[in-house]
Homo-oligomer: A and B are copies of this chain.
């Protein structure tokens, strides 16, 4: 970390600052230049409060020269994290296709859908039992009953299950869920992240918040990892911009940016990113070509009857078509599906 002092900063104040930093346990290296004095800071700088330093009247700016995260960084672990659930893998050379309906609605819907996904080559089954909805007046999911139906679908197909948790209080319901999803709106629900780090062993699929930077997203992964759970999967699902042609703007650049910064697997969800079924195929292909480790796709047997998010769901038939392209592109990218 580098602290650039203002040209006007009096020497005694700079000395007082370095003394304070030394007292807190940091090594300091002072370069008195013609323009300004620069203090290099060495030690456990992850704990430094950058904002407090910036608030000091002698300080011009403070700049980190290393990431504010460690466990998520590939500087500290240079092999890809591979997550293996019942033999189905994500990460490294392994590609995953996580598919299923936005909401669990009925036994028939879930089981039929899971079978169709399995048949077409999907590797994980997803479904929402607890649903975050912006209105209190609409369907919020079947809750524990929904979890039961998902486990039934697993029994029938063998596909591991991914489902979203909305509150620490529901953790007990997720004991048999294979991958626990944290939704975009909870990406900075730090209490939930801490708890999942400390009290779960299942992998966590962490969706990016609608207005969160890639760095903030990795910091949220760090919350989970620093609690003791190293198995985090990152899921890009679009950010909020001014463009209204799509519900959100899929940040495809996040895929290679993350690939250069972290060893964690990266999944892309084109369904939520765009909100339009017709865009899923080209964006699924683009995501693989950009280097992602998996896809998350909304599939519903009858999208027009879906209780939520019908517009962005594709049919099992359409899914099977897309899977052909997925396989072609995985071959080129040397990914095993």
Contacts and interface: CB of A to CB of B under 8 A. Distances in A.
Contacts of A170: 191
Given A35-B29, A252-B283, A260-B278, A244 B213 contact: yes
A128 to B, nearest CB: 13
Interface string A227-267: 10000000000011111111001111111110110000000
A101 interface: no
Contact of A222 (B135, B167, B220, B306): B135
- Copies of this chain, count: 4
A52 B286 contact: no
Given A49-B139, A54-B311, A2 B38 contact: yes
Interface residues of A, number: 111
B252 A286 contact: yes
Contacts of A329: 289, 332
Contacts of A311: 51-52, 54-55
Given A51-B310, A240-B211, A241-B249, A256 B278 contact: yes
B42 A35 contact: yes
A282 B255 contact: yes
A8 interface: no
Nearest to A238: B253
A106 interface: no
Contact of A38 (B38, B47, B249, B308): B38
A68 interface: yes
Contacts of A227: 136
Interface stretch (A58-66, A87-95, A144-152): A58-66
A79 interface: no
Interface string A310-330: 111100000000000000110
A303 interface: yes
A305 interface: yes
Interface stretch (A108-116, A153-161, A181-189): A181-189
Contacts of A69: 135
A138 B61 contact: no
Contact of A214 (B191, B243, B254, B306): B243
What are the 10 tightest A-B residue pairs by CB atom distance, in nearest-first order? A211-B211, A31-B31, A55-B310, A55-B311, A167-B191, A289-B289, A286-B290, A285-B289, A185-B188, A286-B286
Given A2-B38, A167-B191, A282-B291, 19 more contacts: A38-B40, A47-B137, A49-B308, A51-B309, A52-B304, A54-B311, A55-B310, A60-B65, A134-B220, A136-B193, A167-B192, A211-B242, A213-B245, A250-B251, A256-B282, A257-B279, A283-B290, A286-B286, A286-B290
